[in-house]
Each structure stands twice: as structure tokens, then as C-alpha cells.
Structure 1
Amino acid sequence: MGRKGHTAKHGGHRDTHHLTGHRDPLPGIDSLQWKDGAPHRKGQDEFDYGKITEELGDMTETSAPRARYHHGNLRVALLEAAEAELVDKGLEAFSLRSVAARAGVTHTAPKPHFGNTEGLLTALCALGFRRLVEVQDHAKAAAAADPVAQLEAAGLGYIAFATSNQALFRLMFASNRPNFSDQDLSQAARRAFAALETDVAQARRSKGCDQDDDALAVASAWATAHGLADLLSSGRLRALSTMESNRRDEMAARVLSNSALSV
């Protein structure tokens, strides 16, 4: 299955990696790097995937507020502080008061924007789904146009997001604290799922798979991507986590596409 010859060049200490064997380079799990708040290409035929934990959009998991409150950026500053609190202290110690203190504002300042702790966690969760879609979109933009390659890139983007945003990933998928009936959160989550449905359907049409089984294939692909993401982020899947990154990415990509195409 052909791929474009993209080179994923990593920032800092990371190694340049390619997929080996008969497959051309595929954007890797370790691969996404951000510049000025967004993913970027280093050159016409290069896509830098390195530090997925660097700033994306409003914030990243490891970010702290960059500036004290001034008119127009309080909501963003509070979301940045909220994610930093989530990373540092977990859900058990999470509170509006601690977020406000980290953001350098009064303890009542978050209430007009989020109402209560649930509202802030709900907004943070919605932001997480939007970030996930953006990570996957840019992973797919760096991959070959072939529908199977696109599905594999989206799956690797899902894993990369999970391993680099672990606290946020747990909030999105393993917590009942956010209000999932909230319209903004519901729309953000639905957009992420709709993208998966499209990627799976297009990959299956390219291989002549029966459309009647698409829903089952979507469930299989999501379960596989989520399982790999959880196991790799926790270090429990040693068979893959101890592999050289290019070999690991190739193996993960094959598992991901097979999960959707074998149904």
C-alpha cells in the first residue's frame, strides 16, 4: 500500500523515524509538534510530529497560564489553569478555587464563565475533543491520500493524543464529572466520532467491504485505537512500547486498519 514519502522530523532530542519494510513513512505516534499554537510543516515535504505536549490552540496538558488576567483572555487563562490543575492534582483535588488561584484571579472569577466545577470540567472536556480532532486532522494531512492510510494516520493521531494528554484523555473517557448532555461538549464529541465513521467507511469502500457492517467496523476500530492508546500510555503493552518507534508505529497502524477491514 503506497504512501507519500513524507519525512517526520522530530524536534529536540527525538530521532527521525520512518516505517520500515514495504510501507512508506507514516506519521508516527511520537510525531506531532506545534509551533505558535498549531501543528506546522517544516518544509514542503516534511511534517514535524515531535512534541505533542507543546502548546496546541488554547493550551496543552503541561501548560500553565502564560499571563495574568486582562480583558478578553480570562476564559482561556482559566482553561489553561484548569488543565494544569488536572495534571498536577487529579480530579479529586480539582476545584474552582484552586484553578482561580493558579490563574491569578479571585476565587469568584470563574463563575460567570463556567458556573461551577462541573461546568469548567465540561468546557475542558469539550476542548479536549476539539484538540483530538485537530491532532487527527493534521496527522491525516501528513499521510498519503489512500483511504486506508488516512484511517491509520487518524488512529495513530488518537494514540498520540492519548499518550501526550493523559489527564485530559481520562477526563474525556473515564470520568462522569463532565456534563455530557452539554450542547458544546456533545457537538465536539460527535464531531470526533463522525470523523471516525467517515474514515472507516472510506477505507472499507476502497477495499470493497460490505457497507452493512460499517457500524460494527467503527466500533471495532474505536475499541482497538482506544485500547492501544490506554495500554501504550500506561506502559503496559510492553511488546509495543519497548519497540523502536518506527516499528511500533507500523505494527500499530496495521492493527488499527485490520480492525476496521476484517469485519
Structure 2
Amino acid sequence: MKWQGGRKGGNIEDRRGMSGGTKLAFGGIGGVIVLLIGLFMGGDPGLLLQQMQGAGGLTTEQGEYQSTPEEDRLMEFSEIVLTSTDEVWTHLFKQAGQNYQKPTLLVYTNAHETGGCGVGQSAFGPFYCPADQKVYLDLSFNRELNTKFGAKGEFALAYVIAHEVGHHIQNLTGVLGQTNAMRSKMREREYNKISVMTELQADFYAGVWAHYVNKLTSIELTYDDIVEGMQAAAAVGDDHIQERTQGYANPESFTHGSSQQRMYWFKKGYESGDLNAGNTFNDPSLQ
């Protein structure tokens, strides 16, 4: 993946260290946490709420944050990738006669208040908040991708960012509003299927971005990078995570899709580049 020296200009907020000393309380956000859409846990608000209740609260200390050279490299990488998503989606929206509203990538450490989705913390993994149209990322997740999930290579993090931007596309098109409205009207097991469809479509959109990268952006990809993307998608499949954490997989509890499904939809987006091919909600295999 060739990205060094690539174009910058994405909307980036650097909130590492959370300077200013902010006290964040985890209680009382059960009603809004459903709007927080994450890479592998955001679709399960019950799990997130349990984690937050167990944590109790978090206070960050006043002080200047000292970044590492590796963090600075990842920060530059993330901005270049975000800029490339802006370029691709601006082009595709323009083709459809629409203006693209660019999201913001907010980079933080440990925990951060969102603009309408409660408090996110790095344990959730990267996530998107529709209320403020921001993608939240703790750069330490890159290490987890490599060590905990076995997703190697630089493109794994690029896939993660592109997936969260995929949720932004869903927000702009009204999909997230529609699916969230369904939550209170359906049983958990039924809504899990809707959640899976939502996440797989975000994977598809990440693949669409990859399809256009070499044509429209300053980043250059090879097919080896795409393989890394599929491996990253597989690494955060519900079955892979459940088997690693509890020893078995329960398909009825899946909220993001299996490893095979996540690879399939990412690859489909990459190979087709056709937004009309990504309607996961009408796919018979997902009903």
C-alpha cells in the first residue's frame, strides 16, 4: 500500500490525551447508545451498556499528551485514508447529483464524549456517531488488529476507517435512521438480522471505496492490500470473535455478520464498484 506523501485535507480532530481534564460518567446513556455504530461491538448496545456500568466512570487528568513516532505515523496515515474516502464519495455523490457531506475523524485516547451518542471508549473499537457525523478512533486499536485479531498489514486500518465511513454513507442516505427506528419495534433476535445487514453494507461500501482508490486518490493499492482487507473483515466477524472469547459461535446473536459474510460483501464492493449492488437488506441469504 503506497500512501506516504498522499493528499491530506480530511476533517481531523486530534483529541489524544483529552487535554482540559474532563470527567466522563458512564451512567444514564442507555437511550442514546443505540446510535453508536462500531466495527465489532457497536451493534450490541446491551453489551456496551454492561461494560460501561461495570466501569463506573472515568476521569482524565490535565496535562500535555506525548505522542510516539508510531502514533504520529498512524495519525498521518489515518488523515490520508480519510481524505481518500472524501475524494471517492464526493465523486460518487456528484455522479448521483448530490453533494457529499464530509465526516470528521476524531482521534482520542481511552474515552471521549461524543456529540450525541453518549461516551465512547477505546474498548468499543472504532465507531461512528450519526448525531455529530464523526468517526471515533483510538490509534491503539491498530495494535489490537495485529495482535488480538490477527489482521496484519497497513490496509487493515484503512479498511476499518473505510467501514466507519460506510456508516456515514448510511447516515446520509437515511438507512441508519430507518434501522434504528426498527429497534424498539422488534425482538432482539429479529433486530440482530437488521444489524447484520447494516454492518455488511458498511463493509460493502468499504469495498466500493477500495475499488476507486487507484483511479481517484493519491493512494495506490495492490491486490495484496485487498487480501489484507478481506482478512481484516474476517478477523472481526462475529463467529471469529465469539469463538475466541467464549469458545463457540451463536449465529442468532450475531450483530455484524460472520467472517465469511464480511469478506464476501467487502470483496463484492471492491469488484463491482456499483452502489446498486450493495442492498444487503434485500439479499435472500440474509433474511
TM-score above 0.5: no
The structure in which a higher percent of residues are strand is 2
TM-score, structure 1 as length reference: 0.31
Q: Highest CA radius of gyration, 1 or 2?
A: 1
